[in-house]
Each structure stands twice: as structure tokens, then as C-alpha cells.
């Protein structure tokens, strides 16, 4: 019986040698005492080991003990008593000869109940140092890009605030009412751009924006930043769940701001407490953005208040960028302006 076991073990070791020699990855075969039975050429090449000093040696003693890694010992000692297979175990170690290495370990125990002494442990070692270094470098580049983006956004925001303040100051000093109104309109549009830019600060180019929270924050800012635009009106947001790219979010934000400002300026008579509703609906890959009010709507002379002049031109240009069309419904009960994108 003992001869059979010995012969079986020897046959197993010979088979291990034959298989390992054909493997391109760094693979090492250990017996139940964690002594090296065989190792692949890739193992010797990757870690600078010598076959004569490796085979038959205790794994932890290889190359003057450089494989005596505490995390690796725990890794192996979990496998032996529990007959477990472990995959994707990451170990980082500073080797005296080859320097720091990050390794991904996969291990599996191979045994037969009839010959328990022939148990072998297959240990595959993937050197992922370059991959991890590349990932760290990528993360660092992204961090630097984010810092630069935040700095750029901060400077843009400051510049917009300065421009808006200059326009407002000029509007208060000019004598011409027409010039004053043009300066106020310019101030409001600069503030609308600043408001949209502020809401997009956490996002980078190409990121997707959740429309509901974005519009809610945008309208909150509009309540606080718009001046000389009438009485205490309510501004509500009703938005379905959906996301758009940051570039589309900019256009949506500018359209929303333009339409809200237009409603505040034209929909309500002095002293009238009105309501403006910003609504975003999703239909498959399509969507509809609408801004409605319960103001004066259609005038007695039949003229529709649809945000004429520069406001209309801005909304139509932004709608074109969004591959959307504009619809206006105005009546005695108020006005609805819709921007509709059909996929």
C-alpha cells in the first residue's frame, strides 16, 4: 500500500511538471507541506528565481525568504485546512531583487480521497504591477483634471458675477429708460448663465445629469437671484426620472431660465401672486420640457405672449441644439411653452 501511494505521488509530481512546463503564466505547484513540486518558466523569469534553488524547497524559504509574506501565509493557510479555492486575492510586496510588485493570486487544492498524501496546491501568480500603476496614474490624472475643472468653473463664476454687478450698477446710473431696460435684460441673462454654470459644477465633460434634481436646484437659485421681476410668485418643478449629458443639461438649463424669466416679467400684473410650473416628462428616449404659468395669457388684442424678441430667438436656438421643436399655447388661463424632443 505504501508503495502504491509513493508511486501515485511520484506520478502526480511528474504530471505536474509536464503540465506546468506548458503554462505561460507564473504558476507554482506545492505539496501538502508547501514545498515546491514544480514551477513554470514564467515564474522563474518574472521573479528571477533559479530552478535548482526552488524545487523541493519550502515555499516561504525561496530566495532567502523573500516569499515569506504575512498576507500570503494567511492566504495559503486558509486553503490547506479548508480545501478551498480562492481567486483574485491581491498581494503587494517589496522584493529585494525585483522591487515592489502587486500580484493577483488564484489558488486551488487538488486532492484525491484515496490518496490524501498526494494533495497538491496550484498557485497562479499574475503580476499586475503595471496595470495597477496605470490605474493609479489614471486616477491621479482624473484628480488633476477635476481640480483644474473646479478652478476653471470657480473663475468663470467669479467673472460672471463681476460682469453682472457691472451691468446692474450701470443700469442704476443711466438716464435712458430704454438703455436701463437693456442693461437689466443683459444682467438677467448673465445671471441665468451663472446659475446654470453653478448647478453643473460637480460634473465633468460627458457626465450624465439627473434632470429632476438639476432643475430643482436651478429653480431654487432662480428664486434667489432674479431681481426686479415681480411679486411673490411660486415656482414649482415636476420632473420624471431621467438623465441627460452635461452638454444637453446646459441647454435645458438655459431654456428653463429664459422661459421662467419671461414668465416672471410678462405673465403677471403688479400685485398678482401667480404660479410657474417647470415640468419635465420622459417618453422612451424622448422628452418634453414645459414651462407654464397661470398669468394673463393672451392679450385682448390677440397678440400671444410667447417670449418674443431676443428671448424667443434664444429659446429657438437652444431648442435647435437639442434637436427639439418649440410649441406655445397661450390663452386666458395662462401660457405653456414646451420644448419637445422626439427620439
Q: What is the pLDDT, as a whole number, of residue 73?
A: 84
Q: What is the pLDDT, as a whole number, of residue 265?
A: 80
* H or E element at residue 73: helix 70-82
Q: CA separation (Å) from 231 to 30, 187, 236, 269?
A: 82, 19, 16, 9
C-alpha cell at 243: 438623465
C-alpha cell at 251: 441647454
Most confident range, picked from 22-31, 156-165, 191-200: 22-31
Taking the CB of residue 333, how many other CB atoms lie within 10 A of it? 14
pLDDT at 8 over 60: no
218 and 256 Cβ atoms separated by less than 8 Å:
yes
Measure the CA–CA gap between 337 and 201, rounded to whole angstroms. Answer: 28
3-state helix, strand and coil shares in percent for the chain, rounded to the nearest 5:
50, 25, 25
Q: Is 302 helix (H, G, I), strand (E, B) or coil?
A: coil
Q: Within a 13 Å sphere around the CA of 11, how many CA atoms are in the beta-carbon half?
A: 7
Intrachain domains 2-127 and 133-341 with the same fold: no
Give the E-state strand segments of the chain in sequence order.
26-31, 36-39, 86-95, 99-112, 115-127, 208-210, 234-239, 243-245, 275-283, 286-293, 325-331, 334-341
Task: Identify the band that residue 208 occupies on the pLDDT scale cut at 50, 70 and 90.
Answer: confident
Task: Domain 2-127: give its CATH code.
Answer: 3.30.450.20
Task: Identify the band that residue 306 occupies on the pLDDT scale cut at 50, 70 and 90.
Answer: very low
Strands 99-112 and 208-210: unpaired
274 and 292 Cβ atoms separated by less than 8 Å:
no
Find all residues with CB under 8 Å of 251, minimum gap 6, and list them.
Answer: 318, 321, 322
Task: Identify the band that residue 303 occupies on the pLDDT scale cut at 50, 70 and 90.
Answer: very low
Q: What is the mean pLDDT of residues 278-299?
A: 88
Tell which wins on pLDDT, 130 or 188: 130
Measure the CA–CA gap between 65 and 59, rounded to whole angstroms. Answer: 8
Identify which of 164, 220, 213, 221 has the alpha carbon closest to the alpha carbon of residue 195: 221
Measure the CA–CA gap between 144 and 156, rounded to whole angstroms. Answer: 18
Measure the CA–CA gap between 229 and 30, rounded to whole angstroms. Answer: 80
pLDDT at 212 over 90: yes
Domain ranges of the chain: 2-127, 133-341
Q: Read out DSSP for 32-59?
A: TTSBEEEE-HHHHHHHT--GGGTTTSBG
Domain 133-341 has what CATH class? alpha beta
- For 36-87, the pLDDT digits (tens) are 988 888 888 888 888 888 888 998 888 888 888 888 888 787 766 676 777 8
Tell which wins on pLDDT, 178 or 212: 212
Q: Is 135 helix (H, G, I), strand (E, B) or coil?
A: helix
Residue 297 dihedral angles phi and psi, to the nearest 5°: 60, -130
Q: What is the mean pLDDT of residues 97-121?
A: 75
CA torsion through residues 66, 68, 73, 76, sign: positive
Ranking 9-18, 59-68, 253-262 by mean pLDDT, the lowest is 9-18
Q: Kindly report whether the global pTM for this prediction surpasses the value 0.75.
A: no
Amino acid at each position: 500500500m505504501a508503495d502504491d501511494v509513493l508511486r501515485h505521488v511520484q506520478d502526480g509530481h511528474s504530471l505536474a511538471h509536464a503540465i506546468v512546463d506548458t503554462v505561460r503564466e507564473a504558476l507554482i505547484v506545492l505539496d501538502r507541506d508547501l514545498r515546491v513540486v514544480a514551477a513554470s518558466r514564467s515564474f522563474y523569469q518574472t521573479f528571477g528565481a533559479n530552478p535548482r534553488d526552488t524545487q523541493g524547497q519550502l515555499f516561504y524559504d525561496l530566495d532567502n525568504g523573500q516569499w515569506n509574506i504575512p498576507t500570503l501565509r494567511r492566504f495559503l493557510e486558509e486553503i490547506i485546512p479548508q480545501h478551498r479555492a480562492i481567486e483574485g486575492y491581491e498581494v503587494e510586496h517589496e522584493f529585494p531583487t525585483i522591487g515592489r510588485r502587486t500580484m493577483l493570486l488564484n489558488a486551488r487544492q487538488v486532492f484525491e480521497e484515496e490518496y490524501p498524501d498526494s494533495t497538491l496546491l496550484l498557485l497562479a501568480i499574475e503580476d499586475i504591477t503595471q496595470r495597477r500603476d496605470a490605474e493609479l496614474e489614471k486616477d491621479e490624472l482624473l484628480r488633476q483634471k477635476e481640480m483644474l475643472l473646479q478652478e476653471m468653473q470657480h473663475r468663470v463664476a467669479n467673472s460672471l458675477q463681476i460682469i453682472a454687478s457691472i451691468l446692474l450698477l450701470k443700469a442704476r446710473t443711466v438716464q435712458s429708460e430704454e438703455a436701463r431696460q437693456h442693461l437689466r435684460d443683459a444682467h438677467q441673462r448673465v445671471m441665468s448663465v451663472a446659475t446654470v454654470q453653478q448647478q453643473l459644477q460637480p460634473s465633468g465633460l460627458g457626465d450624465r445629469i439627473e434632470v429632476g434634481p438639476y432643475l430643482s436646484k436651478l429653480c431654487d437659485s432662480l428664486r434667489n437671484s432674479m431681481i426686479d421681476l415681480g411679486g411673490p410668485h411660486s415656482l414649482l418643478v415636476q420632473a420624471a426620472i431621467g438623465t441627460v449629458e452635461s452638454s444637453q443639461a446646459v441647454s435645458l438649463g438655459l431654456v428653463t431660465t429664459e422661459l421662467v424669466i419671461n414668465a416672471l416679467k410678462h405673465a403677471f400684473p403688479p400685485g398678482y401672486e401667480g404660479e410657474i410650473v417647470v415640468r419635465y416628462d420622459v417618453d422612451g428616449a424622448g422628452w418634453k420640457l414645459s414651462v407654464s404659468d397661470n398669468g394673463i395669457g393672451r392679450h385682448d388684442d390677440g397678440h400671444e405672449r410667447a417670449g418674443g424678441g431676443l428671448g424667443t430667438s434664444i429659446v429657438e436656438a437652444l431648442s435647435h441644439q437639442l434637436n427639439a421643436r418649440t410649441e406655445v399655447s397661450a390663452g386666458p388661463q395662462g401660457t405653456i411653452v414646451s420644448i419637445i424632443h422626439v427620439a
